[in-house]
Structure 1
Amino acid sequence: MAESNGAVKTHRKAYLPLESNPQVFTQLINNLGVTALEFQDVFSVDEPELLAMVSRPVYALVLVFPTTPMYEEQIAKEEATRDSYTGSGAGEDVIWFEQTIYNACGLYGILHSVSNGDAANFIEPGSALARLLATCVPLAPHERALALEASEELEIAHATAGVQGDTAAPASAEDVVDYHYVAFIKSKSGHIYEMDGCKKGPVNRGAVLSADEDILSESALKFVREYIHREKDGNVNFSLMALVRA
């Protein structure tokens, strides 16, 4: 599966969309400086036998799903009642990135996954990602987004991953595709957050995980199921990946 552009607010730069493929995602985080972690497929959110195949702990979940009219309508209603996020600095419970790069939802899902919670402890000092975060984290959300756009290291790493995978990449980074990525992470305080750069900010889902619970716990999986069950026509074109120890 490839990814959707999402409701990007500005459009100065476009990337080839990433395939929903654990090897592709893992290659990208390795290139950025996270070699101790990898992505794995999660083949079911309901069957205990298949869930047991996933390595634990799980540091983040990345969900790719079809952007149907039903989804767009639901998100428009939710976002209409929310204020835009204005947080900045290392003291925030999460690090969130506004998406301003077209067709880069997968990249933002990856950044949200590896930059938050315990996953951030695996970022190699001096790596491309460490340098990028040192620049971005102190900034306000929109300035942070511009700093991401300006990163040549990030663009090169993404371009390398964008041509990998089992399906052909779109002919142009400007092509419209109809899938979108969101990440679910455990924050510093243990809260479950939905991280989507096309929304107004991080979404605190109102649930708190205990110290020994990870983001593949039942408390978190119910939010993934909400996306799947929202599709009344039975659309099954969903894919879920887990960020785990390599």
Structure 2
Amino acid sequence: RGPGSAPPWRVQREKSTGMSQAWCTIESDPGVFTELIEGIGVQGVQVEEIYDLSEETLDRLQPVHGLIFLFKWIKDDASDRNLLSGGAPGVFFAKQVVQNACATQAIISVLMNAEGVKLGPELSRIKEFASALNPEMIGQVIGQDKVLRTVHNSFSRPEPFMVEPDEKATEDDDAFHFIGYVPVGNKLYELDGLQPGPIEIGEVKDGKWLQVAKPAIEKRIQKYSQKEIRFNLLAIVKNRQEVYRGMIEKLQASIAKGEGDESKQKAEVADLEGKINQEKIKFQKWKEENVRRKHNFVPFIFNLLKELSQAGKLDEVVKEAQKKAESRMEAAAKAKAKAAAKDK
């Protein structure tokens, strides 16, 4: 069980923090988070999933406002790092006091601290109101905010069975957690709502904060065994269509002035227009996927089973499904045994 993307293990199941404000579990997915950010009134940004921390990948996504990292939670007192329990100047930090809210809170923490992001009325109001509050109280403000909770809960999955709202993760559960990395001034901070304050990662030179974040994330990953691959890294970046349009405007202005190689510049414009179309297709795909996420398929499934039963085909379908499930379990057991033998 864990907090957060499309693969089942990423469905969010978080370490309990006590206070509950009925925030649902949501998926860690760039399409979900992009729509969530738009829903709380922030414009001009989107979320992209990162599969490696190479300079080429990160440069392609510039400008990057911050990173969101999902990992399997293990107890961490941050004693070996620069934990700033009293806070840091100019850093917006909130304690997580609501279960299942850490993904949204990590996103909000990055947005609140990022430069050049238009927060919109709701986050601007919260930031101004919370300026004189301590991290615990700021967490309370976020957890009790109706707009944030409503947008977050709009991504809840319809469930055929009710789950006890006060169910807590046990030691045997796989609890997953989201944290944020964001530069403020000339320093990079890790923002973890389960810690008493921000963690200073290091100094940033010439604005190259991603070079500072990379070893910090890699160090976290190295704490786990080689078998643990359930990590998810996402970047909050400037809206790519806006970036590409800005580049097109500069090229067109250069063409109009007769500067540079016109044929090469026109080819670059055509390439950028193609990238804009790709972004439009991606956003439409995200929209359709989110509609499916939110749709309640339970009545359809119920009626399908009912029709199969009335047609006398339900037993046959169930037996076939059981055979497939057994085959998958056998294949998984063989793969596990093979991996164990290899480790020896």
Give the TM-score range, shorter chain: 0.7 to 0.9
Give the 5 Å matches for 1:103-182. Answer: 103-119=100-116, 121-124=117-120, 127-163=121-157, 172=163, 174=166, 176=169, 178-182=175-179
Separation (CA, whole Å) in 2 of partners of 1:118 and 1:169: 43
Match of 1:5 among 4, 14, 24: 14
What's the TM-score once normalised by structure 2's chain length? 0.59
What's the TM-score once normalised by structure 1's chain length? 0.80
Q: Does the CA-based 8 Å contact 1:32-1:128 persist in structure 2? A: yes
Match of 2:36 among 28, 40, 47: 28
- Aligned-residue sequence identity (percent) comes to 19
Q: What SS is found at the alignment partner of 2:115?
A: helix
Q: Does the CA-based 8 Å contact 1:43-1:240 persist in structure 2? A: yes
Separation (CA, whole Å) in 1 of partners of 2:97 and 2:67: 22
Separation (CA, whole Å) in 1 of partners of 2:112 and 2:225: 34
**Structure-1 residue corresponding to 2:280:** none
**Structure-2 residue corresponding to 1:209:** 204
**Structure-1 residue corresponding to 2:224:** 231
Task: Say which structure is richer in helix.
Answer: 2
Residue identity matched to 2:214: L
**Structure-1 residue corresponding to 2:238:** 245
Task: Say which structure is richer in strand.
Answer: 1
Structure 2 CA distance for partners of 1:233 and 1:87, relative to 1, 3 Å: closer
**Structure-1 residue corresponding to 2:70:** 64
Separation (CA, whole Å) in 1 of partners of 2:155 and 2:147: 13
Separation (CA, whole Å) in 1 of partners of 2:81 and 2:42: 36
Separation (CA, whole Å) in 1 of partners of 2:156 and 2:15: 17
Separation (CA, whole Å) in 2 of partners of 1:170 and 1:114: 35
Q: How far apart are residue 79 of structure 1 and its match?
A: 5.1
Q: Does the CA-based 8 Å contact 1:135-1:147 persist in structure 2? A: no
Q: How far apart are residue 93 of structure 1 and its match?
A: 2.6
Report 1 or 2 for greater relative contact order, CA contacts < 8 Å, sequence distance ≥ 6.
1
Separation (CA, whole Å) in 1 of partners of 2:108 and 2:211: 24
Separation (CA, whole Å) in 1 of partners of 2:183 and 2:146: 29
Separation (CA, whole Å) in 2 of partners of 1:37 and 1:102: 26
Q: Does the CA-based 8 Å contact 2:47-2:236 persist in structure 1? A: yes
Match of 1:37 among 45, 49, 60: 45
Q: How far apart are residue 122 of structure 1 and its match?
A: 2.1
**Runs of 5+ in structure 2 lacking a partner?**
1-9, 240-344
Q: Does the CA-based 8 Å contact 1:79-1:200 persist in structure 2? A: no
Q: Which of 1 and 2 has greater Rg? A: 2
Cα deviation digits, residues 83-136 of structure 1 (max 9, x gap): 773449xxx3310010000111101111111110315x3213xx2211222222
Residue identity matched to 1:23: G
Q: What SS is found at the alignment partner of 2:96?
A: coil
Q: Does the CA-based 8 Å contact 2:82-2:199 persist in structure 1? A: no
Q: How far apart are residue 224 of structure 1 and its match?
A: 0.9
Q: Does the CA-based 8 Å contact 2:30-2:49 persist in structure 1? A: yes
Structure 2 CA distance for partners of 1:209 and 1:66, relative to 1, 3 Å: same
Q: Does the CA-based 8 Å contact 1:185-1:193 persist in structure 2? A: yes
Query: Paired residues, what number?
Result: 224
Q: Does the CA-based 8 Å contact 2:87-2:198 persist in structure 1? A: no
Structure 2 CA distance for partners of 1:48 and 1:204, relative to 1, 3 Å: closer
Residue identity matched to 1:60: G
**Runs of 5+ in structure 1 lacking a partner?**
none
Q: How far apart are residue 54 of structure 1 and its match?
A: 4.2
**Structure-1 residue corresponding to 2:188:** 192
